[in-house]
Copies of this chain bind each other. A is one copy, B any other.
Amino acid sequence: MSKTPLLDQLESGPWPSFVTDLKRMAAKKPQVKDLLAQLERSYQEKITHWKHGGIVGVLGYGSGIIGRYSDLAETFPGVEHFHTMRINQPSGWFYTTKALRGLCDIWDKHGSGLLNMHGATGDIIFLGTRTENLEPCFAELTANGWDLGGSGSTFRSPSCCLGPARCEWACYDTMEACYVLTQEMQFDMHRPSYPYKYKLKFSGCPNDCVAAVARADLSIIGVWKDDIRIDQAAVKAYAGGELKPRGGATPYAKLDIKADVTDLCPTHCMSYDGKKLAIDNRNCNHCMHCINLMPQALRPGTETGATLLLGSHAPILEGAQLSWVIQPFIVMESPYDEFKELNVRITEWWAEHGKNRERIGELILRLGMREFLEAAELPPAPQQVRIPRANPFFFWQQSDFDAEAKGRKYYTREGFDVE
């Protein structure tokens, strides 16, 4: 009789089965056999059998490894230690088979042979090894050009959509920006010196294919400032049904430009008279809807850059947050100095004021946007808010009164106050 009758039931069905895959590895690796056996126990008992993680790592780093021990080590000695190694992925998750095989070789040698491509943050996740293997595995990784990613209270491995590598809508070079910032922040990635985790995600346009707005403390989302480029001939082809909506990836054969595009434009800034498509670009929200449905007729403008949004994270502790706009537009070009400097101002302010396990977004809620914006040297802008405050409980600081005394009407920031 099988030792994993419950898990076995996950071998049927059309979707690829992790059980089947693990079983063949179990034939080669005793720790995988024990992993399956322990997992079967969890399936029976509906409870995890991993102990609260311990602190393990490689020399000089305080991150990149998640310690993990079984609470059934006596029964399943193969999983007594089952630590995770997070390997920082390359920008856009591009690989050559050579590189991938190299990684497999290292992991077969030093670990369980199980992995995730990729973890939810973006790292390559090497799943399951013993403490004594960490250092040799790390040495071999670095020898082959790989390094660990982040974990704990560090700068976490940034990730990006593939952007200009394969997408016509990328408003800046997400791949390069992600790489440069990852390199820039190596020290902070490997040595926990922040109040909590800090994540960066780079999306090339408002479609946000790496979910930056939901999962990155600092979300860098591409955008254009000028006009959507229109190819009226292609518009005609969509109207005529020669071109399929959304490149063909829908159940709908033909686009009704009014019903499907202009009527659904959230700002109603488009019009179509049956012949020509017109856009009042000053009132466009950059939502991408029209572009998404007619990729051969419409393209973002050419004055491009990114919007910076800050603060998103999962629900711990006060409920989830989505990132909000802190800088409506920034030019994102190598060497990204403006961006790097801003990033430093943000993390320094947070490191100084943040409590243990307080994300930057929570800190701002605690201390107020003004204190943050002044520290980050960003002027207030209406784009930062969806709506202005409703309550009358606002503060005035000496700088406001000083500006008033100087005959200025409002203080917005040193050098930026309004006459």
Contacts and interface: CB of A to CB of B under 8 A. Distances in A.
A393 B319 CA distance: 8
A320 interface: yes
A393 B320 CA distance: 11
Within the oligomer, what is the number of copies of this chain?
2
Contact of A320 (B319, B320, B391): B391
Contact of A315 (B315, B319, B320, B391): B391
Interface string A310-324: 000001000110000
Nearest to A391: B319
A319 B394 CA distance: 11
A1 interface: no
Interface string A293-311: 0000000000000000000
Contacts of A391: 315, 319-320
A47 interface: no
Contact of A392 (B315, B390, B392, B393): B315
A314 to B, nearest CB: 10
Contacts of A393: 315, 319
A320 B389 CA distance: 11
8 contacts: A315-B391, A315-B392, A315-B393, A319-B390, A319-B391, A319-B393, A320-B390, A320-B391
Nearest 8 Cβ contacts at the A-B interface: A319-B391, A315-B391, A315-B392, A320-B390, A320-B391, A319-B390, A315-B393, A319-B393
